[in-house]
Amino acid sequence: MDRIKIIGGSRLSGQIPISGAKNAALPLLIASLLTDDRLTLKNVPNLADVNLLMRILRNHGVDLAVDGKRPGPKQHIGETFHLTARDIVDTTAPYELVSRMRASFWVLGPILARMHQTRVSLPGGCAIGTRPVDLHLEGLKALGADIEIENGYVVAKAPGGLVGNKVVFPKVSVGATHNVLLAAALAKGETVIENAAREPEIGDVAECLVKMGVEIEGIGSSTLRIQGRDRLEGAVHTVLPDRIETGTFAMAVAATGGDVTLTGTRADLLQNALDTLAKTGAEITTTPSSIKVTRNGADILPVSVETQPFPGFPTDLQAQFMALMTRATGTSVIRETIFENRFMHVQELVRLGAEISMHGDTATISGVGALHGAQVMATDLRASVSLVIAGLMADGETTINRVYHLDRGFEQLEQKLTACGAKIERVTGD
Ligand code: UD1
């Protein structure tokens, strides 16, 4: 199993090109199931999660052609995927595939909408809490689906097709919003989703559906009004930049000190996190397509945050921010309100010398003068990258085991950091 070795202490300086967003690419790839026409997606990141989802989509009958070459880490252009689901040859999404990635559960709505029936295994994904799917199922039931759980599978039927309706989510869920939005695109008449997630990736999917012929009002707001169509057309769409990758590198620079320009990304996708970083003493300068992060010698000031749905501070940056706070000049408090068990990085950060105490959903971090390299274990996607940030700050050598979690969501991580002066390498093997 691959490991990552880091010799900490180098400042970062240079440019990092930001990849297309994993969390937009996944539902956009799934949107290909809605049409027999060709959907072309540009700027698709090359990630383990994308490859796994493609295995699932191929199993349903999606045909894929890829073009677009990568000229190297300085000029990232992503890949272009041409997807055609002329026929859905299999309406079952099997346990062996769905259990490895939660987002694959989102095929449920589109296959049901197009084929009027589907069987999708209950999902797996990162071990960060119970992560139920009740909101997905209630939303699809509101559109007329008849749903049973049989032997670990969601069996959904809508013999006459889905019918638009009002769906009021009692809680904000990114996945449930995607699932119902995708299904509503092929439902009869109007669907109104209230308390929809407002994450930019939802907006990106909605924009793509508009190009495919769906009328959608309220994109970017918590009320989406969707006029379903009998048949969707093909489209060409570019995946928006990855705000979590952007925020991760911004935090890495704030942590190590230095001066890095993140290119091909947008500050409005993560304004709350950037404002928080500025409060810690980092300098942030933006253009419409880049973000420069600078910290030259200034202390890291302690700042407390609470994770919230967009536009709040993202849960997907909580672990990275905690890594930064381990070296702050005082005490900060981080409260996780989205997932109940998203603190598995805490014990690993403590192995590197951090002082963190936990109480329920709240971590209290007392900044220390130095972290010290050690062996640590990656436990989930975002937690693993927080260990990379901590390793970059620590004295001496840090080895991160089980880095396959990183490959699920970060494209060319070591190359991008190395290009900015980090001493980081992947050790392949056993
Ligand atoms: C998505 C993101 C993930 C991010 C999360 C929150 C992708 C591929 N993944 O995950 O990176 O951390 O949003 O921003 O885009 N919930 C229920 N019932 C449901 C569905 C969710 O109670 O039916 C709960 C969850 O347990 C969690 C909360 O709602 O506590 C938010 O989860 P949700 O927004 O659905 O997260 P995901 O879509 O799984």
Residue that the structure tokens 């309220």 belong to:
218
Distance (angstroms) between ligand 1 centre and the Cα of 400 equals 26
Q: Which helix (H) or strand (E) holds 53?
A: helix 48-60
Q: What CATH architecture applies to the domain 22-226? A: Alpha-beta prism (3.65)
Give the closest residue (by CA) to ligand 1 atom 25: 131
Contacts of residue 77, defined as CB under 8 A and 6 or more positions apart, other chains included, come to 43, 68, 70, 71
Beta bridge partners of 234: none
Q: From the alpha carbon of 23, which atom of ligand 1 is closest?
A: 15
What residue ranges line ligand 1, CB within 6 angstroms? 23, 26, 102-103, 129, 131-136, 171, 173-176, 197, 201, 315-316, 338-339
Q: From the alpha carbon of 340, which atom of ligand 1 is closest?
A: 30
Q: Which of 126, 300, 377, 422 is catalytic?
A: 126
pLDDT per position in the chain (430 positions), as tens?
889 999 999 999 999 999 999 999 999 999 999 999 999 999 999 998 999 999 999 999 999 998 865 444 444 457 899 999 999 999 999 999 898 888 999 999 999 999 999 999 998 644 445 568 999 999 999 999 999 999 989 999 999 999 999 999 999 999 999 999 999 999 999 999 999 999 999 999 999 999 999 999 999 999 999 999 999 999 999 999 999 999 999 999 999 999 999 999 999 999 999 999 999 999 999 999 999 999 998 899 999 999 999 999 999 999 999 999 999 999 999 999 998 878 999 999 999 999 999 999 999 999 999 999 999 998 888 889 999 999 999 999 999 998 888 888 899 999 999 999 999 999 987 6
Q: Is 126 among the catalytic positions?
A: yes
Contacts of residue 185, defined as CB under 8 A and 6 or more positions apart, other chains included, come to 31, 34, 110, 113, 209, 212, 214, 226, 228, 229, 232
In words, the CATH class of domain 3-18+241-427 is alpha beta
* Alpha-carbon span 412 to 258, nearest angstrom: 20
- Residue range(s) in the chain whose domain bears CATH number 3.65.10.10: 3-18+241-427, 22-226
Contacts of residue 51, defined as CB under 8 A and 6 or more positions apart, other chains included, come to none
Residue that the structure tokens 């590198």 belong to:
249
